[in-house]
Amino acid sequence: MSSPTWTPDALASERRPYRGRIWRVVESQSLVSTMKLVDTLDEQAVLEDLVEAAKPPVPERCRGLHYLLATPFRYDAPYPRGSRFRRAGRTPGVYYAAETARTALAETAFYRILFFAASPGTPWPANPTEFTLFAVDVETDAALDLTAARLVRDRARWTDPVAYDATQDLAAAAREATLRIVRYASVRDRDEGVNVAVLACEAFSTSTPTETRTWRLHLSATGGQAICAFPPDRIGFARDAFADDPRLAGMVWERP
């Protein structure tokens, strides 16, 4: 069955329950950045409130969620570039996550390396970058699993490393079918990693992150090295970890 047949009605027939804990990576979240602008904790609280008031309001359906969960759905400015399940422009938000910490870190490492691939004259950073890895629980009876049943037949279209038209069309049809989660194979994690795209805030079963960890990612001529101090863990991504992506074909690994 080819992807053009995946109408909202066809996708609705593939609807299934999903429950689990999913992981997302963001650059380290800290209140320290505003502390240097003020003299007291009371002044900092006022400044944080002013910053929050200047942001777009949280959509009604997402209110009560921690800001890390609500942020992908909050901003109504035009999305600058399309992503796997979201078209460019003024389009609905998508919360991208992974079923394991490793897969979430693989996605992050890939996009950091992709930045340097587009800037061959930029030297590798001397110090590792700090990231916050956090988990949240989700549960819904309206999930779409692209790794199962008839949908897996179009795996090549769902996992294209650079062309997102098929998955963006699929997400639009999934929204019409009132589906809230899309489960799909990670393109960046070769160890059968699985990602989860949350299309609606109602899929979150907890309003705050359930686990939080600090990871540091260091990039160099040998690839990417991710380290967590507590609980102790480390994951390495060699030069060839993301070789399937054509945008890395001319990657300059040796640089100052």
Confidence at residue 75, expressed as pLDDT on a 0 to 100 scale:
80
Backbone angles phi, psi at 75, to 5 degrees: -90, 125
Confidence at residue 226, expressed as pLDDT on a 0 to 100 scale:
98
Residues 109 and 193 sit within 8 Å (Cβ to Cβ): no
What is the secondary structure of the chain as a DSSP string?
--GGG--HHHHHTT-EEEEEEEEEEEEPP-SHHHHTT-SSHHHHHHHHHHHHHHSPPPPGGGTTS-HHHHHHHH--SPBSS-BTTB-SBS----EEEESSHHHHHHHHHHHHHHHHHT-TTSPPPSSPEEEEEEEEEEEEEEEEETTSGGGGGGHHHHT-SS--HHHHHHHHHHHHTT--EEEEE-SS-TTT-EEEEE--GGGBSSSS-SEEEEEEEEEETTEEEEEETTTTEEEEEEGGGGTTSGGGTT------
Confidence at residue 1, expressed as pLDDT on a 0 to 100 scale:
38
Confidence at residue 145, expressed as pLDDT on a 0 to 100 scale:
98
Single out the residue of 127, 135, 125 nearest to residue 227, CA to CA: 127
pTM of the model: 0.91
Confidence at residue 237, expressed as pLDDT on a 0 to 100 scale:
97
CB neighbour list of residue 15: distance below 8 Å, 6 or more residues apart: 141, 142, 143, 144, 177, 179
Q: What is the tens place of the pLDDT at every residue in 220-235?
A: 999 999 999 999 999 9
Q: Can you give the residue ranges of every domain in the chain?
A: 3-248
**Residues of the chain falling short of pLDDT 70:** 1-4, 29-33, 51-54
